[in-house]
Amino acid sequence: MKRVQIISTYTPSIPHLSNEELQEKINDALQGLLYYQLIEKWQVEVFDMEIFEETYTLSDNGYKLLKYWQGNMFFFAPERLDNHGKYVHLRYWHDIDLLCHLRYAPSFLGHIMHPSISKGVFTPPLSFAVQAGVNQEFNFVVYSTLLTDKRERLKRIIARWKDFVESGSDILMKDLGNNPTILVIYVSTVKQAQRINHELLLDLIPGRVLLCIGETLHIQELQHAFYQPLAEGEIKQLNTKLFETH
């Protein structure tokens, strides 16, 4: 990774601005934050592809400022970057990418990064809630996987989840309400999803488990990006009307 750090930003829609005007405002804001050294810009090599992606992270000054003003919110501390490998940015890109699509779904109620979750369950980087009907909400927890991840990482996450659900306890997350909770594993490709399902037998896990596939998300949009794990590593694409966008 080169120290110089595609910015994916989760920003609310501003009705009176075109995409070009909104992008210009975002770029101006980023340049201002860079000028005051509140963020850092990076260039990241994307695996073995001959391209580099740009991303932005908080600087030490930016992190301290945000923790002072919004101390209860989660912010990724700059010193932690070196502890998570050079592809940690990509994991967060997955989360932000999913959020950028979710915000257009009328059912989307909100999200929390690194939520406070029931003890015994791995803290997910992303959680969100949706409105499924009158007085009916669902919570989702999302664990992103990278092609470079060691297999044991996801195995531990799934094992802890399985043990907790089998104990009969409810998955609770602060500020999202006591709603039915769905486990989502975000992967980049269909092939990766099939391999993970084959290795971890996701179809046998109690409760609802879904796979969200990045390449489908970008080609067919959010409504068709979710897959149901089946036996023998097979997966079934779903038409998830809950995530229809209008």
Give the model confidence (pLDDT) of 129-185 as tens digits: 999 888 888 999 999 887 777 788 899 999 989 888 888 777 888 888 888 899 999
pLDDT digits (tens, 9 = 90+) for 58-116: 888 998 988 888 887 777 788 776 666 656 666 777 888 888 889 888 999 989 888 88
Closest CA to 167 of 120, 127, 124, 200: 120
List Cβ neighbours of 219 (8 Å cut-off, separation of 6 or more).
none
Q: Left, alpha or beta for 168 (phi > 0: left; psi -120 to 50: alpha)?
A: left
CA atoms of 40 and 5, how far apart (whole Å): 6
Closest among 43, 40, 80 to 58, alpha carbons compared: 40
Strand locations in 28-144 (E): 39-45, 52-58, 108-113, 126-133, 136-144
Q: Which two tokens stand for residue 208?
A: 């609802």
pLDDT of residue 19: 63
What are the residue boundaries of the structural domains of the chain, listed by start? 19-85, 94-243
Spatial CA neighbour of 72 closest among 114, 23, 129, 109: 114
Burial class (CB within 10 angstroms; exposed 0-12, middle 13-18, buried 19+) of 213: buried
First to last CA, the chain: 39
**Strand positions, DSSP E, 115-222:** 126-133, 136-144, 181-187, 209-213
In whole numbers, what is the pLDDT of the chain averaged over residues? 81
Whole-angstrom Cα distance, residue 222 to residue 4? Answer: 33
